[in-house]
Amino acid sequence: MTAARTWLKRHGHLILFLLPGLLLYGLFMAYPLVTSLSYSLSDWDGLVRKGFAGLSNFTTVLTHWPYYERFWGALRHNAIFFGLTLAIQTTLGLFLAAALEALFAGGVLAAFSLRTGVGTVIAFVAIVSTFRALVRYLDRLLKQIPIADEG
């Protein structure tokens, strides 16, 4: 028996556990990514592909008005959204991890003890004030972005 067959016989059931996740990933992530790449390289009118356009679509979007204004505006908005989302998720995740660690490390009462509670409150205040400053800065930044009338 070969090593591959031995491994498959011993660990073949693991493939069954991975298969649903891989199928869902392929269906909802990989397939749309590949098709959007093929659309971006095609010359088409929205309904029918006319042929291969190469990188000319990208050149048009990056250099011709009004496409480049919309592209850079959308890229800026996505970067801000990504930054905010990352900051919020990381902050909340770290806060919850610290709270759970305090809760389970010393029991329920240790999580609410004065020593742990003060540290948690100080960390929470620092996180909230940093987040508030970030939101104010991003609000000022967004107000400076000109939004073209699409009328």
Percent of the chain whose pLDDT exceeds 90: 13
**Given a cut of 80, is residue 102 above it in pLDDT?**
no
In angstroms, rounded to a whole number, what is the distance separating the alpha carbons of residues 31 and 47? 19
Element (H, E) at 93: helix 67-105
Question: Tokens standing for 22?
Answer: 């891989």
What pLDDT is stored for residue 151 in this prediction? 44
Average pLDDT, the chain: 81
In angstroms, rounded to a whole number, what is the distance separating the alpha carbons of residues 5 and 24? 27
Q: State pTM to two decimals.
A: 0.49
Residues 47-72 have a mean pLDDT of 86
pLDDT in tens, 111-146: 555 555 666 677 778 888 888 888 888 888 877 777
Q: Where are the domains of the chain?
A: 1-64, 65-151
What pLDDT is stored for residue 97 in this prediction? 79
pLDDT band for 91, please (50, 70, 90 cuts).
Answer: confident
